[in-house]
Amino acid sequence: MPFPAREPTFLPLTVAAARTAADSQVGPPERASARVVQRRAEEANAAAAACWSALLGGCESAGRLGLPARLRALSEATSVYVGGTWWLGDGSTHRRRVSAAEDRIGEAIFEGDGAEFAEAFIGYDQAVATAVVRVQSRLGSPTA
């Protein structure tokens, strides 16, 4: 079994925010939607780790090619969780940040640029996590 502390983590804020949202939502629909975000964040994080290894090794691998689809799935799950009205309205700044970071990550993968990849993930993680936290606080929770 791998040691979690030794595995690279690319979405720590998003995974934590989604887990907190999933554990604290009162209504079943919100909880289910937050669980989907959590699963997609964990899948995207694992795909990012595989992509990172491929970038460091300088090889073309399925992990490297599959990451953009995992990021889109996470972004889509986040948009469902936060709600279309917010995502397209008050949350449009977050939506644009998420989209721009996705594009940067894609470019870094294409160019094989590990430094740009890591830097772009910081922005992506912050943008998605911030959207989840803001909506969670708007929806309210038993711990808020």
Say if residues 48 and 121 touch (Cβ distance below 8 Å): yes
Residues of the chain with pLDDT under 70: 1-6, 25-26, 62-63, 138-144
Kindly state the greatest CA–CA separation across the chain.
47
> Residue 5 has what pLDDT?
55
Judging by beta carbons within 10 Å of its beta carbon (0-12, 13-18, 19+), is residue 133 exposed, middle or buried?
middle
Residue among 123, 106, 104 nearest 10 (CA): 123
Provide the whole-model pTM. Answer: 0.89
> Residue 4 has what pLDDT?
54
> Residue 1 has what pLDDT?
44
> Residue 27 has what pLDDT?
81
Write out the DSSP string of the chain.
---GGGS--S-HHHHHHHHHHHHH--SHHHHHHHHHHHHHHHHHHHHHHHHHHHHHHT---HHHHHHHHHHHHHHHHHHHHH-HHHHHTTTHHHHHHHHHHHHHHHHHHHHT-HHHHHHHHHHHHHHHHHHHHHHHHHH--TT-
> Residue 51 has what pLDDT?
93
> Residue 144 has what pLDDT?
39
